[in-house]
Structure 1
Amino acid sequence: MAINLGFLLVISSLLLSLSSADWNILNQKKGKYGLQITLKNYCESWRMNVELHNIRDFEVVPEECVDYIGKYMTSTQYKVDSERTIDECTVYLSTSCGLKKDGADAWIFDIDDTLLSTVPYYKKNGYGGRKLNSTSLEEWMKQGKAPALEHSLKLFNQLKGLGVQIILVSSRKECLRSATIDNLVDVGYHGWKSLILRDENDENKDIQKYKADVRKQLANNGYRIWGILGYQWSSIEGLPTPKRSFKLPNPLYYVA
């Protein structure tokens, strides 16, 4: 009896080990619903749930998805996804915005990965697979070499042509103002109404509160905020809300 019991325990242990191995995505086995799960499926699902704001507060991209995320951020699909966002902004402007053209119509843009791309930085730093080094990122920003996101530049110029006041609200620190302005102008952005960066009083606030407080002040100053274009949920959540908000894709990092 003891021998039989021992044999059963060994078999059970082996079966449990095999069952656990089946769940390793790198083995590309079937999921619990009988679907064939590949690494690409898994990473695409992870990316989509980041955009849906189901996955939050992550510090790094899952190790097995770093290559996938890198390919996505440099792919035609990323450009198409971003351009579709801009197309929706354009439809909204043409159908639902009753612009007064009295100097109080406003639109808010974020900067990083909204107007300027940080992909060149992340390309050299693991496409989100390493924990963000803020000092390293700021040193890269000081170089002022971030390229423009052409789809956003198109919307920027369209809004400027309509007489909308363009307000740039970034979580960048005030010490980066000069480098940020030079970078923006060098790649084609000019004519914004104001550029708001975090000063010493804002550095201890979480990003969502900081940006919501900025919107509150703008509203108190009489601006009608018709829309926001940003790359993180923290750019568009919180009160007061604009009439519409639009989020660009960005699975590289999370800003609370």
Structure 2
Amino acid sequence: MSDPPRWDGALLRGPVHGPLPILLLVMTTATGLVDAVSVLGLGRVFVANMTGNVVFLGFAVAGAPGFALAASLAALGGFLLGALAGGGLVSARGKRRGHLLRDAALIETVLLFVAVGLLAGVTGTPGSGLASAVAGLAAVALGLQNSTVRRLAVPDLTTTVLTMTLTGIAADVRAAGRPVVTRRVLAVVTMFVGALAGALLVLHTGLALALLPAPVLLAVVVVVLAVAVRRPAPWQ
């Protein structure tokens, strides 16, 4: 009888994906922060989870109170634009995974810092014109992220959607090894932590300060990758 799978730190430093898993978990936390700000402060709109956003768009079209049609449309359009840009970045940089994620995270960082600046002026009703513009801008960043992470193909770490991750935790609990289950659980936990932190910041500070940690986290990812890609490694 073989020994059960042993946790050996491969999540953090395995040869196949290198530092990518832990960096994607950091980006998952940032995603939770961004969606907390968008849902609670910009008119009940998701900028990362387009499944939820399409549902919210249906509610807005139906005239349900509290849902902003303009913000939902801006987020959907922005996400598609970001995904399109991400596809171009993948074509240009896709053969070098570290460089691809570094460049994508850098662009996201800039976009979200601009969004933070714009949010300093959001004082009216959620779903206003400026709030919708911020939702669209943030969605561009997350669409770019989604395209990039899709190309990296690190199992269970999409950074934006957890439906299949949760399914895998339950469906494969007996078959999957401990590192796999741990990775999936960490994806859920980091998204939850980001959303919780974002919600607390929205409720107790302001929208700009609530969003600020997201580009800061992405900037950390950029710095780590800028150093990591200097040394050739199989994961790249």
User: Is this a same-fold pair by TM over 0.5?
Assistant: no
Greater helix content: 2
Greater strand content: 1
TM-score after normalising by structure 2: 0.30
TM-score after normalising by structure 1: 0.28
Which structure has the bigger radius of gyration?
1
